[in-house]
Amino acid sequence: MATIATISIDLNKLDKSKIINGKNGSQYYNLNISVNDTTDQYGNNIQVTEPQTKEQRDAKTPKTFYGNGAVRWTDGKIVIAEKKTNTEF
């Protein structure tokens, strides 16, 4: 394990129309979690926002902010996760 973080999100802000229905009744909601190099005035260095399309980014549409958090422990070895191409488990 390389990092432990604690986040808190406001569930009332979630746009219910963006819930993705999966198999066997599972439901998912995509979020972006950004870990910053500096902390804010409350000691948080994580932001939770809604993903934006390229068009929204190009138009400078403000991000929808859902919450924040903080890294609580790290061994300093955060790596980029590689997407597996084989879908069989």
For residue range 1-31, list pLDDT tens digits in order. 578 889 999 899 899 999 999 999 999 999 9
What's the whole-model pTM score?
Answer: 0.76
81 lies in some domain: no
CA distances to 22, 43, 55, 77, 86 from 49, in Å: 22, 18, 16, 24, 29
Residue with tokens 């000691």: 43
State the DSSP code for 54.
H
The two beta strands, 3-9 and 65-74, are antiparallel
Residue 42 included in any domain: yes
CA atoms of 42 and 39, how far apart (whole Å): 7
The count of domains in the chain is: 1
Would 48 be classed as within a structural domain? yes
In a domain, 84, yes or no: no
86: in domain: no
Q: How many CA atoms lie within 13 A of 34 on its CB side?
A: 13
Task: Answer yes or no: is 82 within a domain.
Answer: no
User: Which tens digit of pLDDT belongs to each residue from 33-75?
Assistant: 999 989 999 999 999 999 999 999 999 999 999 999 999 998 8
